[in-house]
Amino acid sequence: MNHDETFETVESLNAELVSLTRELWENPELGLHETASAELLSSVLRDAGFEITEGIGGMPTAFSATYGNGEPHIGILGEYDALPGLSQEVSATRDPVERGDPGHGCGHNLFGVAGVGAALAMKRAIDDGRATGTVTFFGCPAEEILVGKVFMARDGAFDDLDAALTWHPSHLSAPFMAQTLAMNSVEYNFTGESAHAADSPQSGRSALDAVELLNTGAEFMREHVSDDARIHYTIPDGGGAPNVVPAEATAWYYVRAPTRAEVDRITDWLDDVAEGAAMMTQTTVERQFHTGCYDYVANDTLSEKLLENMRLAGPIPYTDDDREFAAELQETLSQETIEARTAQLPEGPREEARQSVLYPDAQPSYDVGTVLNGSTDVGDVSWITPTAQFWAASWPVGTPSHTWQAVASNGSFGAKAAVYAAKVLAATTLDLCNDDDLLAEARNEFEETVPNEYETALPEGTEPPFHLTL
Ligand SMILES: [Zn+2]
């Protein structure tokens, strides 16, 4: 399908979209606290005539913005949360704006804006009679702590969709087709008895001992779970001064595995280990379940359509100035990092990418059939409706996410990737609105690859974890 008109619409919004990416970048907000960011994006869509629903899933920074009528109903997902401690100037050396402050190290300042751009372009297409149906932009908070879409999904936010599309900033451009790991985020809070650790230790019961025994138990458990599983923990509270037996201590766990069933099995075992640790130390334990997400299942039919439109819309028009700054950033990466990050590409593009500073040419998926050892809450959406997403080259080749180099890129030339992503998302949404066969094919594939009905991983009564800042 010819998408010139759609691309022109997005191009006419170029300056507005770039300035939105900057505004979000200059005011980075952590997950579930993205008040100004959510307001900025929802106000743009409200002003354009979209119907806004706020507070989805009990989260004040979650919203949806809907335009159009009837079927099909296509969802576009956007995020806008930042990461702690990654404050960084647009500069080629590590240079925080304010040391310790958050920064946009995952490019979510680009991510949400591209979705808004696509939604605005779809409104124009609907108004002009070039598309029929309904489009909803979902403002999804707190992806970094894998919370937003999980609680929105429990609220039924995605139930009416015929398909959902999204993207993610990266250092290469290709459909994102890897499976991701399902996960649970759980905190174990132990309570003991404080006492003077030297004078009267016999009166104390150490909650920290319990945490250490839990962690030791988890290390022994590790041998008996599948190689693909990942178990990691921190001790957010390990007590205070050494001369006080810690009465309170906490361990925070992420459990990940390729399937929900396996994540649940490992978590149940970990619960038993925590009970055992409490028994051994004569303390008590309470479990706080923060969130639990699904593995991601890419819809191949939709992913292929995304690639087609990526080729039509691209490559991203980076200038010599962009390449110059990108080269300075790339010089701060080790050769090993660049090689590891490009290893999955087929030989030809791999060599081309390794010799490039920016490599925005769309590639066929290089991660199809692989498991990405991370998690995303897009996984939950992919178990509810046919879902596809793509990577777009927003950073110098080899740049890992969650780095200061990514923050610097996201505050400068990365904005061009957001405009590009808006074009790809709008064109693909338009295709879905106008091509019943495409939608039917995506639906058939979905029914084959996702046979079970979606059921939230959240135990009943779980509230969004507003106290988390990671
Ligand atoms: Zn991200």
Alpha carbon 391 to its chain's center: 12
Confidence of residue 447 (pLDDT cuts 50, 70, 90): very high
Confidence of residue 399 (pLDDT cuts 50, 70, 90): very high
Centre of ligand 1 from the C-alpha of residue 55, in Å: 22
Centre of ligand 1 from the C-alpha of residue 407, in Å: 12
In a domain, 201, yes or no: yes
> Could you read off the pLDDT of 68-124 as tens digits, one per residue?
999 999 999 999 999 999 999 999 999 999 999 999 999 999 999 999 999 999 999
Centre of ligand 1 from the C-alpha of residue 94, in Å: 21
Centre of ligand 1 from the C-alpha of residue 461, in Å: 27
What pLDDT shows up at residue 86? 95
Q: Do residues 43 and 169 both lie within one domain?
A: yes
Contact 237, 252 (CB under 8 A): no
Structural domain containing residue 428? 4-180+295-449
Give whole-number Cα distances, 271 to 255, 296, 451, 464, in Å.
Answer: 12, 25, 29, 21
Centre of ligand 1 from the C-alpha of residue 367, in Å: 17
Q: What b-and-e string marks burial along 77-88, b requiring 16 or more CB atoms within 10 Å of the CB?
A: bbbbbbbbebbb
Centre of ligand 1 from the C-alpha of residue 106, in Å: 4
Question: Can you name the residues that pair with 165 across neighbouring β-strands?
Answer: 76, 388
User: How does DSSP assign 165-232, residue by residue?
Assistant: EEEEEESS-EEE--EE-EEEEEEEEEE-B--BTTT-GGG-B-HHHHHHHHHHHHHHHGGGS-TT-EEE
Q: Do residues 14 and 93 both lie within one domain?
A: yes
User: How does DSSP assign 358-404, residue by residue?
Assistant: ---S----SSTT-EESS--THHHHHTTS-EEEEEEE-S-TTPPSSSH
State the burial class of residue 60 (Cβ atoms within 10 Å of its Cβ: 0-12, 13-18, 19+): middle
Ligand 1 (single-atom ion) residues, CB below 5 Å: 106
Q: Do residues 262 and 114 both lie within one domain?
A: no
Centre of ligand 1 from the C-alpha of residue 104, in Å: 9
What pLDDT shows up at residue 1? 73
Centre of ligand 1 from the C-alpha of residue 369, in Å: 21
In a domain, 251, yes or no: yes
Centre of ligand 1 from the C-alpha of residue 463, in Å: 22
In a domain, 467, yes or no: no
Centre of ligand 1 from the C-alpha of residue 11, in Å: 25
Q: Minimal CA–CA distance to 456: which of 149, 28, 232, 223?
A: 149
d(CA 47, CA 285): 50
In a domain, 162, yes or no: yes
Centre of ligand 1 from the C-alpha of residue 24, in Å: 15
d(CA 332, CA 14): 30
Confidence of residue 469 (pLDDT cuts 50, 70, 90): low
CATH number at residue 212: 3.30.70.360
In a domain, 466, yes or no: no
Q: Do residues 350 and 445 both lie within one domain?
A: yes
d(CA 59, CA 47): 22
Confidence of residue 357 (pLDDT cuts 50, 70, 90): very high
- The encoded tokens of residue 251 equal 């361990």
Centre of ligand 1 from the C-alpha of residue 152, in Å: 17
Nearby residues of 464 by Cβ (< 8 Å), 6 or more positions away? 32, 57, 58, 59, 142, 147, 151
CATH number at residue 445: 3.40.630.10
d(CA 121, CA 111): 16
Q: What is the mean pLDDT of the chain?
A: 97
Q: Do residues 408 and 442 both lie within one domain?
A: yes
Centre of ligand 1 from the C-alpha of residue 100, in Å: 20
Q: What b-and-e string marks burial along 111-138, b requiring 16 or more CB atoms within 10 Å of the CB?
A: bbbbbbbbbbbbbbbbeeeebebbbbbb
Confidence of residue 451 (pLDDT cuts 50, 70, 90): confident
**What is the torsional sign of CA 129, 131, 132, 133?**
negative
Q: In the Cβ-directed half-sphere of 354, how many Cα atoms lie within 13 Å?
A: 18
Q: What percent of the chain shows pLDDT beyond 90?
A: 97
Residue 90 DSSP symbol: S
Centre of ligand 1 from the C-alpha of residue 378, in Å: 10
Greater model confidence, 75 or 2: 75
In a domain, 75, yes or no: yes
Nearby residues of 342 by Cβ (< 8 Å), 6 or more positions away? 172, 350, 353, 354, 397, 398
Question: Helices (H) and strands (E) in the chain — how many of each?
Answer: 15, 13
In a domain, 330, yes or no: yes
Alpha carbon 264 to its chain's center: 21
d(CA 102, CA 83): 5
Does residue 349 have a cis bond before it (omega within 30 degrees)? Answer: no
Last residue of a domain, one of 271, 293, 315: 293
Contact 353, 395 (CB under 8 A): no
Q: Do residues 252 and 368 both lie within one domain?
A: no
d(CA 177, CA 192): 47
Q: Do residues 227 and 127 both lie within one domain?
A: no
Last residue of a domain, one of 293, 320, 343: 293
Number of domains in the chain: 2
Q: Do residues 160 and 38 both lie within one domain?
A: yes
* 398, amino acid identity: G
Nearby residues of 23 by Cβ (< 8 Å), 6 or more positions away? 40
> Could you read off the pLDDT of 238-249 as tens digits, one per residue?
999 999 999 999
Centre of ligand 1 from the C-alpha of residue 147, in Å: 13
Centre of ligand 1 from the C-alpha of residue 349, in Å: 24
Centre of ligand 1 from the C-alpha of residue 212, in Å: 32
Q: Do residues 233 and 119 both lie within one domain?
A: no
Q: Do residues 391 and 366 both lie within one domain?
A: yes
Residue 470 pLDDT > 60: no
Centre of ligand 1 from the C-alpha of residue 244, in Å: 41
Other CB atoms within 10 Å distance of the CB of residue 223: 6
User: What would the mean pLDDT of 61-73 be, rounded to a whole number?
Assistant: 98
What pLDDT shows up at residue 235? 97
Centre of ligand 1 from the C-alpha of residue 419, in Å: 17
Q: Do residues 106 and 247 both lie within one domain?
A: no
Centre of ligand 1 from the C-alpha of residue 144, in Å: 6
Does residue 315 have a cis bond before it (omega within 30 degrees)? Answer: yes
Q: Do residues 318 and 394 both lie within one domain?
A: yes
Centre of ligand 1 from the C-alpha of residue 81, in Å: 9
Last residue of a domain, one of 273, 293, 313: 293
d(CA 364, CA 345): 9
What pLDDT shows up at residue 385? 98
Q: What percent of the chain shows pLDDT beyond 70?
A: 100
DSSP SS3 for 289: strand
What pLDDT shows up at residue 173? 97
In a domain, 321, yes or no: yes
Centre of ligand 1 from the C-alpha of residue 13, in Å: 24
Centre of ligand 1 from the C-alpha of residue 143, in Å: 7
